[in-house]
A and B are shown apart, each in its own frame.
Chain A
């Protein structure tokens, strides 16, 4: 447990010092596994995830300044890079149909038309919290999902030396969508699953700006009256796809293996599909435990 905490702290602080902040809902594939009940009785996913967003810069030929132009925003900066680390946990869920036998069975393949309504809470470094209601429904081998994240965050800017500065900050309460679906194949004799999912998600990239002193104290010579400059917000839709690798248990051997319940572990990688109109690049890695 201590090693996990240390790894989380290290990873979180690496991401916390990125210049920009990302706000986007979490991956819905773990919830799809919980709804499928391929590991009977396991319906609460908990995840760690890290995401990053970059922008393909263009150069203004007249001014020679770099800028990032998305379908709804034009940001004049020489670099746009955002990194994010978050922890998600399921606080409440309703899944259907009810799984009568949670001890497992040979050739148990989950519910073909399983579904679920999930309420997840998240904490994103440094100072963002939120809740995400999510709906997932399987239709045979595929599933569809919809999630809407409400988040409240306090985001910091940088000083004139480009270091984190708490005096430059912005608060933001916002909502972002994640819509899509996926499919997964299960190798039941091994307890392995391979899946792909995709869809369209909203990405919000925010920068609280940098500090610029606007006046000088002539008595001391110090620069005073800091103000925020160049803060911006980008909110765009991007198409993305993801690959999922799952390991789970569902054999009727709980007693023989001295286990209390079945569970699953999933690794997912998501990648945004860049188009000519939208130069944002999105990439995310998440690790999820479903218990």
Chain B
């Protein structure tokens, strides 16, 4: 849960950024193929920058005039693309910009065959709700699909072939000349035109060095709507940056690596392998560690624990545990992690016992729940008193559910400045620890 709460920011942020950038241009043409194919089985992210030159029957040499406006046919002769790809075996996900058009791309990839789809973010998120004309929303969509075949010639050179079908956009600008003193009057506003294209091409790619490659791609496209022929020549450079650690497994690995590093100097075992041979008095136990109410323990150093570390004040490091046993002969204590099954050993000299764990105060959350139900209750009953009653019931109900149905020791602990402020003498600590003796040899 901790790993997901730290990693859930990426999908939420990416979605939020996509929605923000969706307001940019929606024009798109097929992205280059070679860098996408080179993402196969790479742990690193592929970062690609390319420039394209367009030729053929471009619509960029005419202007339509009417009484108070004109429309410039200004299809671009070139474009630039920046893209990033991350890979998981046979699946690659990418994102980038084609000049002012943010896009997403994803698909199947392998050493010889690739199949990819892309869409401009504006098309993906806003086209269905943006009303341009009476056509269906797909008429203003920019995106497509491409099949790619790749043949490695040797360690440095590869060639490839592409076939695509896509909905492209091209540039068209409208200028209103009769808008008086309005802001922006006389300035061109983009009115892109979309067309369906089928076509194919080929590319050649070469390895420059271990971290960079280049490709030259030629692509022909037939405009099915206006019966035009277009060609694009693209020069693409790409390199490999460090892995982007944004997924749940990335966060889990990062937290685990810190603990694995600590485990090199800590004695650890799992609860399954522990055995106790002696009985404790009036204590519940699992047959391994003594199971106790979650207890705060003060420790001397953060490297001595595999549990979550809390700092009620700058000078105090505190952890909680629900499992403990004291090995008197070695003067060590075994403590259990917060949620995992690992048990770790810590010197009794660098440990002190503190208060029992209390969960965070629920009053504030209960009050908020009650407040949120008060208006609905008032509307339902048609009276202020009814709303207050329902709001109060909701708040109490929330408190009761959390207090009685949830495991209190699994909830977030209450951390306050007085926590673990009291220091005990060595004799007091030993006396307290002797309540929880370990029995027999601990197996690792």
Q: Does A185 lie within 8 Å of B106, measured CB to CB?
A: yes
Chain B residues with Cβ under 8 A from A138's Cβ?
Answer: none
Q: Does A190 lie within 8 Å of B369, measured CB to CB?
A: no
- Chain A min CB distance to B398 (Å): 9
A263 within 8 A of B: yes
Q: Does A251 lie within 8 Å of B252, measured CB to CB?
A: yes
Q: Which of A111-145 contact B (CB under 8 A)?
A: 125-127
- Chain B min CB distance to A231 (Å): 17
B372 within 8 A of A: yes
Q: Does A248 lie within 8 Å of B248, measured CB to CB?
A: yes
Q: Does A273 lie within 8 Å of B128, measured CB to CB?
A: yes
Q: Which of A267-291 contact B (CB under 8 A)?
A: 267, 269, 271-276, 281-283, 285, 287, 289, 291
Centre residue among A12, A253, A273 by max chain B CB count within 10 A: A253
Q: Does B308 lie within 8 Å of A191, measured CB to CB?
A: no
With both beta carbons as reference points, the residue of chain A lying nearest to B16 in the complex is identified as: A267
* Bound Cα distance from A252 to B250, whole angstroms: 13
Chain B residues with Cβ under 8 A from A194's Cβ?
Answer: 91, 93, 106
Chain A residues with Cβ under 8 A from B337's Cβ?
Answer: 255, 258
Q: Does B88 lie within 8 Å of A271, measured CB to CB?
A: no
A154 within 8 A of B: yes
Size class of the contact patch on chain A:
35 or more
Q: Name 10 interchain pairs, CB-CB below 8 A, sorted by A.
A: A154-B380, A166-B382, A243-B124, A257-B259, A259-B3, A263-B248, A265-B4, A265-B248, A273-B128, A276-B135
Q: Does B1 lie within 8 Å of A291, measured CB to CB?
A: yes
Other than A185-B88, A191-B250, give 6 A-B pairs with Cβ distance below 8 A.
A190-B250, A191-B251, A248-B247, A258-B342, A267-B14, A273-B138
Q: Does A189 lie within 8 Å of B88, measured CB to CB?
A: yes
- Chain A min CB distance to B36 (Å): 14
* Bound Cα distance from A245 to B249, whole angstroms: 15
Q: Does A266 lie within 8 Å of B88, measured CB to CB?
A: no
Q: Does B15 lie within 8 Å of A267, measured CB to CB?
A: yes
With both beta carbons as reference points, the residue of chain A lying nearest to B42 in the complex is identified as: A189
With both beta carbons as reference points, the residue of chain B lying nearest to A250 in the complex is identified as: B249
Q: Does B368 lie within 8 Å of A6, measured CB to CB?
A: yes
Q: Does B372 lie within 8 Å of A274, measured CB to CB?
A: no
Q: Which of B215-253 contact A (CB under 8 A)?
A: 243-253
Q: Does A273 lie within 8 Å of B137, measured CB to CB?
A: yes
Q: Does B128 lie within 8 Å of A274, measured CB to CB?
A: yes
Q: Does A267 lie within 8 Å of B11, measured CB to CB?
A: yes
A156 within 8 A of B: yes
With both beta carbons as reference points, the residue of chain B lying nearest to A271 in the complex is identified as: B128
- Chain A min CB distance to B144 (Å): 15
With both beta carbons as reference points, the residue of chain A lying nearest to B108 in the complex is identified as: A185
B338 within 8 A of A: yes
Mark interface residues in B1-32 (1 if CB within 8 Å of A CB, else 0).
11110011011101100010000000000000
Chain B residues with Cβ under 8 A from A164's Cβ?
Answer: 379
Chain B residues with Cβ under 8 A from A274's Cβ?
Answer: 128-129, 136-137
A70 within 8 A of B: no
Q: Does A251 lie within 8 Å of B249, measured CB to CB?
A: yes
Chain B residues with Cβ under 8 A from A170's Cβ?
Answer: none
* Bound Cα distance from A56 to B128, whole angstroms: 12
Q: Does A259 lie within 8 Å of B379, measured CB to CB?
A: no
User: Contact check: which of A9, A186, A263 meets B1 at CB < 8 Å?
Assistant: A263
B101 within 8 A of A: no
B43 within 8 A of A: yes
Q: Which of B70-99 contact A (CB under 8 A)?
A: 86-89, 91-93
* Bound Cα distance from A13 to B379, whole angstroms: 13
Known contacts A190-B247, A192-B86; decide if A256 and B371 are in contact (CB<8 Å). no
B347 within 8 A of A: no
- Chain A min CB distance to B289 (Å): 15
B151 within 8 A of A: no
Q: Does B252 lie within 8 Å of A186, measured CB to CB?
A: no
Q: Does A191 lie within 8 Å of B252, measured CB to CB?
A: yes
Q: Does A269 lie within 8 Å of B382, measured CB to CB?
A: no
User: Contact check: which of A12, A166, A187 meets B379 at CB < 8 Å?
Assistant: A166
Q: Does A281 lie within 8 Å of B128, measured CB to CB?
A: yes
Chain B residues with Cβ under 8 A from A259's Cβ?
Answer: 1-3, 252, 339-340
User: Contact check: which of A5, A192, A251, A291 meets B368 at CB < 8 Å?
Assistant: A5
B255 within 8 A of A: yes
Chain A residues with Cβ under 8 A from B150's Cβ?
Answer: none
Chain B residues with Cβ under 8 A from A54's Cβ?
Answer: 129
B275 within 8 A of A: no
* Bound Cα distance from A96 to B315, whole angstroms: 51
B196 within 8 A of A: no
* Bound Cα distance from A29 to B363, whole angstroms: 35
Nearest first, the 8 A-B pairs at minimum CB distance are: A187-B88, A191-B249, A190-B247, A191-B247, A185-B91, A191-B248, A256-B256, A255-B340
With both beta carbons as reference points, the residue of chain B lying nearest to A256 in the complex is identified as: B256
Chain A residues with Cβ under 8 A from B264's Cβ?
Answer: none
B356 within 8 A of A: no
Chain A residues with Cβ under 8 A from B255's Cβ?
Answer: 256-258
Known contacts A256-B342, A258-B306, A273-B137; decide if A247 and B10 are in contact (CB<8 Å). yes
A200 within 8 A of B: no
* Bound Cα distance from A276 to B364, whole angstroms: 51
* Bound Cα distance from A14 to B382, whole angstroms: 21
Chain B residues with Cβ under 8 A from A255's Cβ?
Answer: 270, 337, 340-342
Q: Does A253 lie within 8 Å of B129, measured CB to CB?
A: no
B431 within 8 A of A: no
A99 within 8 A of B: no
B307 within 8 A of A: yes
A188 within 8 A of B: yes
User: Contact check: which of A9, A264, A272, A273 meets B248 at CB < 8 Å?
Assistant: A264
* Bound Cα distance from A12 to B251, whole angstroms: 31
B376 within 8 A of A: yes
A254 within 8 A of B: yes
B400 within 8 A of A: no
User: Contact check: which of A185, A243, A256 meets B260 at CB < 8 Å?
Assistant: A256
- Chain A min CB distance to B251 (Å): 8
- Chain A min CB distance to B374 (Å): 11
B301 within 8 A of A: no
* Bound Cα distance from A151 to B129, whole angstroms: 27
* Bound Cα distance from A166 to B308, whole angstroms: 50
Centre residue among A8, A249, A281, A283 by max chain B CB count within 10 A: A249
With both beta carbons as reference points, the residue of chain A lying nearest to B262 in the complex is identified as: A256
